[in-house]
Amino acid sequence: MLEARWVTKHYRQGTNIVAAVDRVSIAVREGEIALIIGPSGSGKSTLLSMLGCILQPTSGAVLVAGYDVSGVPERVLPRIRQRCFGFVFQSFHLFPFLTARENVETAMRLQKVPREARRKTAIDLLSDCGLGQRMDFYPASLSGGEKQRVAIARALAADPFILLADEPTASLDSANGEAVLEMLRHLALARGKAVVLASHDPRARHFADSVYNLADGRLNRLR
């Protein structure tokens, strides 16, 4: 479903060029949760951004559903991101002036899903996330764990093939972090999504099918 072949990203830092991600290959199937662990600065977010077509690799290829996106023009990338990917971030990134349900509906609005269908999908997803009683709340009146569950529901709303989550539990205490990982696993498996999760959270290992370690831009499979 998602594959990187020998991807490298170079950044210029002053007069130096550093390889934030160095010749990394990874393949993730549908229904698989791949976890990438590694210390701060090891390149996790850079790798996820390349996998999610947010950042172009310096070299190497990214294949989305078997389709090599390396050569496609920049202007096509937003459409690929919208169609194929759901994104979840550490700091939730919810729209503060929209309710939980409206936040979940936004992704479907971009895809021109009719209003009634949007509403139904949002209600179903939020119920699956245990937020049936919180749908009309604004983000400011939700706990961190609830906000992240809304963000996961939103990421899945447009039915992407792939879910990318960058440190989704880093802002949460351990009970909420665990609930969010549990939810992510349950929803992704039920819907056959390929998931790539970057996290330093050691508990995340229990929720992953494959585990990789990233150190200084080099990726090694641990499990």
Ligand X SMILES: Nc1ncnc2c1ncn2[C@@H]1O[C@H](COP(=O)(O)OP(=O)(O)OP(=O)(O)O)[C@@H](O)[C@H]1O
Binding site for ligand X (CB under 6 A): 11, 13, 20, 38, 40-46
Residue 200 and residue 42 in contact, taking contact as beta carbons nearer than 8 Å? no
With CB under 5 to 8 Å by kind, the binding choice for 121 among Mg ion, ligand X, none is: none
- Closest distance to Mg ion from the beta carbon of 39 (Å): 10
With CB under 5 to 8 Å by kind, the binding choice for 97 among Mg ion, ligand X, none is: none
Residue 179 CA, distance from chain mean position: 17
Report d(CA 139, CA 137) in Å as an integer.
Answer: 7
Looking at 29-37, 38-46, 78-86, 97-105, which segment touches Mg ion (CB under 5 A)?
A: 38-46
Select from 95, 197, 176, 198 the least CA-distant residue to 129: 176
Structure tokens at 6: 């020998």
With CB under 5 to 8 Å by kind, the binding choice for 46 among ligand X, Mg ion, none is: ligand X
For ligand X, the closer of residues 41 and 132 by Cβ is 41
Residue 79, CA distances (Å) to 69, 82, 110, 121, 153 in order: 12, 5, 10, 21, 20
With CB under 5 to 8 Å by kind, the binding choice for 11 among ligand X, Mg ion, none is: ligand X
- Asked if residue 199 binds Mg ion (CB under 5 A), the reply is no
Q: Among 45, 99, 121, 169, which residue sits at the site for Mg ion (rule: CB under 5 A)?
A: 45
For ligand X, the closer of residues 83 and 218 by Cβ is 218
- Asked if residue 148 binds Mg ion (CB under 5 A), the reply is no
**Residues whose CB is less than 8 angstroms from the CB of residue 24 and which lie 6 or more positions away in sequence, other chains included:** 4, 6, 7, 8, 47, 60, 214, 217, 218, 219
With CB under 5 to 8 Å by kind, the binding choice for 103 among ligand X, Mg ion, none is: none
Query: Which DSSP symbol is given to 205?
Result: G
Residues near Mg ion (CB under 5 A) are: 44-45
